[in-house]
Amino acid sequence: MPNTAPHATPEAAARRHAPATLRNRAAILAVLRQVLPASGLVLEVASGSGEHCAFLAEALPALTFQPSDPDPEARASIDAWCQGRPNIRPALALDAAGSWPALRAQAVLCINLVHISPWAATLGLLRHAAAVLPAGAPLYLYGPYREAGAHAAASNADFDASLRARNPAWGVRDLEAVAEAAAAQGFGPPGITRMPANNLSVVLHRG
């Protein structure tokens, strides 16, 4: 018999899948419910597959989400995941370390970028987030960090080594170095929430 299975739609074909999203998104949402404003624009930097943005926008319908990514295939995936959601804007071409378009946001999110990018990306993120956020607004970071020079677990040390083997400019960062760089851009001290799989939620408020 002929194969009568329906062909994948262009949107479905464009969707990327990040398995970790299903494992961490509920924990991330729980923290964001405590720190995000009741309404306004949330800029997500390095949205990746777009799965986090789609999930968060559905759970927080009073907020408007602006996803972004420098990779055109990632932007296609983001828009495919977020299609039909009225509180998500089309994905922007935005590089954390490059120039940003003129915009204002009430919060900035960045999930799993700091360790999978050169240090210049973190510095750019902090500099630009300080420019787009009003006083008191949050910048939310998620991922693994070293604290006092030590990894949270042996698995984090192994992960760090694998990242640096792939690209010497990548790697798990020292939380203290991120906090110092953030302070130089006018952010207050970080609020820390310990997350599953030895990750941290780091919340920095614009001074």
Characterize the bridge pairing of strands 107-111 and 40-45. Answer: parallel
Does 149 reside within a domain? yes
8-30: per-residue pLDDT in tens?
Answer: 677 778 898 888 888 899 999 99
According to DSSP, the residues that pair with 146 across neighbouring strands are: 174
Crossing angle of helices 51-59 and 72-82, in 10° steps, is 30
CATH for 184: 3.40.50.150
10 belongs to a structural domain: no
Within a domain: 180: yes
pTM: 0.93
Q: Angle at the Cα of 101 (from 66 to 171), degrees rounded to 5?
A: 75
**Helix (H) / strand (E) containing 193:** strand 191-195
Query: pLDDT confidence of 2, banded at 50, 70, 90?
Result: very low
pLDDT at 39 over 80: yes
Q: Is residue 6 part of a domain?
A: no
Residue 5 maps to a domain: no
> Do residues 146 and 167 touch, judged by C-beta distance below 8 A?
no
Identify each DSSP E strand in 56-186 by its residue range: 63-66, 107-111, 138-143, 145-146, 173-174
Helix axes 51-59 and 19-35, enclosed angle (nearest 10): 40
Q: What would the pLDDT profile of 42-100 be if each residue is shown by its tens digit?
A: 999 999 999 999 999 999 999 999 999 999 999 999 999 999 999 999 999 999 999 99
Give the range of the structural domain holding residue 119, as residue numbers without chain letter: 18-205
In a domain? residue 199: yes
Quote the radius of gyration of the chain (alpha carbons, Å): 17
Distance CA 135, CA 107 (A): 11
Would residue 76 count as lying in a domain? yes
Number of domains forming the structure of the chain: 1
Q: Which helix (H) or strand (E) holds 158?
A: helix 154-166
Residue 138 domain-assigned (yes or no): yes
CA-CA distances (angstroms) from residue 158 to 48, 74, 166, 172? 23, 27, 13, 10
